[in-house]
Chains A and B, each alone.
Chain A
């Protein structure tokens, strides 16, 4: 089975540009998480979806960040406008209903904002 698929793997952009990160969760999983990983702050939960509905977005840094999950097989994380402090690795993870919260992570999207 394919795992969690993220794209792009690497993104280099200039400050002020819009960035869209994409995630395809594992088929049959009903929960999806977006995490951000930096050296300074470690692994931070940005937002959590259950059955395509955003349940907890308290980790979203500010209004520049938005996330959507239009269907069970696709989610996006958008940053507009991007800033250098957004540079990080963004991970998407999914889990299934009877999995007790075990997460399956994607390979991550490494974002560099110049």
Chain B
């Protein structure tokens, strides 16, 4: 079974700072990778996803993530955060070609100060 580790539980930044949230997974096979965002009081929404092809994936709101297979990582980045990016961020993984049941990380809480 796969597992997902998000190293940063809480991140506090000022507006315009750069963001990188770590995500590592453990699974030996081919995977599909996702980042979801949960704004305060709302449901989870897809931020970006990787299935195959270019390992640098661009998502909504200026976010991007890079899949590094050798490091089993799928880190989320944004060059300049905004106050509206304050949210909880979840990394998720499933086994490609399998049942597609995702495994979620514990999440990272991001607070951006104006």
The A interface, classified by DSSP as helix, strand, loop or mixed, is strand
The number of chain B residues with a CB under 8 A from chain A is: 21
Q: B residues within 8 A CB of A43?
A: 44, 90, 104, 106-107
Q: A residues within 8 A CB of B106?
A: 42-43
Q: B residues within 8 A CB of A56?
A: 99, 101
Q: A residues within 8 A CB of B100?
A: 31, 95, 99-101
B32 to A91, Cβ gap below 8 A?
no
How close is A104's CB to chain B, nearest CB, in angstroms? 8
The number of chain A residues with a CB under 8 A from chain B is: 22
A103 to B107, Cβ gap below 8 A?
no
B43 to A106, Cβ gap below 8 A?
yes
Please pick, from B34, B44, B101, the residue contacting A45 in the complex, using a CB distance under 8 A: B101
**Is A102 an interface residue when CB atoms closer than 8 A count as contact?**
yes
**Is A48 an interface residue when CB atoms closer than 8 A count as contact?**
yes
How close is A74's CB to chain B, nearest CB, in angstroms? 19
A105-B45 contact given A42-B104, A100-B100, CB 8 Å threshold: yes
Question: Residues on A close to B: CB < 8 A?
Answer: 31, 33, 42-43, 45, 48, 50, 55-56, 91, 93, 95, 99-108
Question: Residues on B close to A: CB < 8 A?
Answer: 32, 34, 36, 42-46, 49, 51, 90, 92, 94, 96, 99-102, 104, 106-107
